[in-house]
Chain A
Amino acid sequence: MHFFRQVMVIAAKDLRAEIRTKEAVNASLAFAIVILLLFSFAFDPDLETTQEMSGGLLWIVFAFAGTLILNRSFARELPNDCLDALVAAPISGAALFLGKALANYVLVLAVELVSLPVFGIFNNVRWTSQFWELMLVLLLGTWGLTVIGTVFSALTVNIRLREVMLPMLTYPILVPALMGSMLLTKDLVMGKPIAADTLMWLKLLIGFDLMYTAASLMLVETVLVG
């Protein structure tokens, strides 16, 4: 079967299972909304300060909420030993990884797209002035988060403390991508378009995504089978 068809079969399976159970999305969405709500109550900054903090706040929320989804990615295969059947199936580890990463990407993006307007409403911030550039940063930053989270979800799937291990392993690696996403998001929420001084962060995000996607695709077979 064609590689991309296999990818889509895996992604569709994961999305269908998640839509039926909603176990990861519900937890992730609830976490994101509660943090944004509590932040708006805990602090009363002026508009400019809120905009300056927006990048940091949003990406901290996205990273933590995203981990709740990513933790379930390969753990979902443990009941009934479904991972055995996937590893035994005649599909490459790369197709399995990419299918799972794609499903995770859709789910994490969905949580982020709900969180953004919630952030705007709770903090009375108009965040849409550079909407398409912000979406680009969101897409790139989220792919980095998803790729790293999915590959480490595979690596930690058989560890008893995987819920603890996954963030400990992913966040240090994610630092460059999170830094880029935070700085770009802050400027875009403040209404500043991506300019020459911030372009390097966008390039860093693209490079990060390409490098870790390629590395994950190469390593995932070893991660799954040894």
Chain B
Amino acid sequence: MSALAVEGVWKFYGDYAALRNVQLAAEPGTCLALIGRNGAGKTTLLRTIAGFSRPGRGRILIHGKEPRETETRRQLGFIGHGISVYDELSALENLMLYGKLYGVADPRKSAMEWLERTGLERVRDGLVREFSRGMRQRLAVARAFLHEPSVLLLDEPFTALDDRAIAVLQTLLRQALADGKTIVISTHQLREALDLASHVALLIRGELAFHGPCTPEMAADPGLVYARYGEG
């Protein structure tokens, strides 16, 4: 059974089809890089996979179950454009909140562990509104990984990250792949994405133009996918 199966998914905004019959799959232990120009439908696809909205047609299965099922949501980790942590709470309070919501056995212990892994243990009681941008982003990474999800959905995760946060995220993603987790990463930064990816999917105006393994040539020349299957 695929970790992720997108089966003939259409998504409409009014009459406009943002996704057109998208069909793809990702196996456990693989990383799928979702690439495409602005407005191609990458974010819409990721958000639909994450269960933020339902597809107009078709279906999405995560380990054989619908995204909105409670058990499925427990297996999903999502990093979107926002950091999804509260400015009025401390780093520790934020992680404990999500730990409790995800049913983590010992939310405080897990929160402390992830604060340490992301280098935030010294500021654990500091309010997020006082954090630098890099610290906030590292906290967002900790939030997404806290409940040990088996499928990670990352929307432009490297955008606006500082060097330290990029290093933290890349290390965690490599570890997640080694642990057999599935990663879907949407990005414009092809070099970072193809460095991690085992598979590539190219979206053009909501349609899947290419979906297949990431070859060494693609990893060496990130523009190759666009040149060969896209709009040049």
Please tell me if the beta carbons of A80 and B102 are within 8 angstroms of each other in the complex: no
> In the complex the two chains form, is A6's CB within 8 Å of B101's CB?
yes
B82 near A80 (CB under 8 angstroms)?
Answer: yes
> Roughly how many angstroms separate A88 CA and B48 CA in the complex, as a whole number?
11
Are A90 and B98 within 8 A (Cβ)? no
Q: Which residues of B contact A160 (CB under 8 A)?
A: none
B51 touches A225 (CB 8 A): yes
With A90-B71, A225-B51 known to touch, is A84 a contact of B80 (CB < 8 Å)? yes
- CB neighbours (8 Å) of B89 from chain A are 13, 16-17, 20
Tell me which residues across on chain B come within 8 A of A1, comparing CB atoms.
Answer: 100-101, 103
Q: Which residue of A lies closest to B53 (CB)?
A: A226
Q: Is the CB of A225 within 8 A of B101?
A: no
Quick check: B86 and A82 within 8 Å, CB to CB? Answer: yes
CB atoms of B68 and A225 under 8 A apart: yes
| Shortest beta-carbon distance from A18 to chain B in Å | 8
Chain A, residue nearest B70 (CB): A90
Question: Which B residues are CB-close (under 8 A) to A5?
Answer: 100
Q: Is the CB of B88 within 8 A of A81?
A: no
Number of A-B contacts (CB under 8 A): 80
Interface residues on A, range: 20 to 34
Contact among B74, B83, B86 for A90, CB-based, below 8 A? B74
Greatest chain A CB density within 10 A among B80, B85, B89, B100 is at B100
Q: Is the interface of B mostly helix, strand, loop or mixed?
A: loop
Q: B114-138 CB contact bits vs A (8 Å, 1 = yes)? A: 0000000000000100000000000
Q: Indicate whether A82 sits within 8 Å of B84 (C-beta atoms), given known contacts A87-B52, A88-B50, A90-B70.
A: yes
| A84–B86 CB distance below 8 A | no
One of B78, B87, B100, B102 near A84 (C-beta < 8 A): B78
> B81 contacts which chain A residues (CB < 8 A)?
81
Residues 80-98 (chain A) with a chain B CB within 8 angstroms = 80-82, 84-92
With CB as the reference atom, state the residue of chain B lying closest to A79. Answer: B87
Q: Nearest-CB distance from B24 to chain A (Å)?
A: 20
CB-CB < 8 A to B42: which residues of A? none
Q: Which residues of A contact B80 (CB under 8 A)?
A: 81, 84
The reply on A34 being an interface residue by CB < 8 A is no
CB pair A90 B101 closer than 8 Å = yes
Query: When the two chains form their complex, are residues A225 and B98 in contact, meaning their CB atoms are under 8 A apart?
Result: no
Least CB distance from A74 to B in Å reads 14
Separation of A85 and B103 alpha carbons in the complex (Å) = 14
A residues 195-226 touching B (CB-CB < 8 Å): 225-226
CB atoms of A13 and B52 under 8 A apart: no
Task: Indicate the member of B74, B82, B102 with the most A CB atoms within 10 Å.
Answer: B82
Contact, CB under 8 Å: A13 / B83:
no
Q: Which residues of B contact A (CB under 8 A)?
A: 50-54, 68, 70-71, 73-74, 76, 78, 80-89, 93, 97-98, 100-103, 127, 143
List, sorted by A's number, 29 A–B pairs whose CB atoms are closer than 8 Å.
Answer: A13-B89, A17-B86, A17-B88, A20-B88, A20-B89, A20-B127, A21-B88, A79-B87, A80-B86, A81-B80, A81-B83, A82-B82, A82-B84, A84-B78, A84-B80, A84-B82, A85-B78, A85-B85, A88-B73, A89-B98, A89-B101, A89-B102, A90-B101, A90-B102, A92-B70, A225-B51, A225-B52, A225-B54, A226-B54
Q: Which residues of A contact B (CB under 8 A)?
A: 1, 5-6, 9, 13, 16-17, 20-21, 79-82, 84-92, 225-226
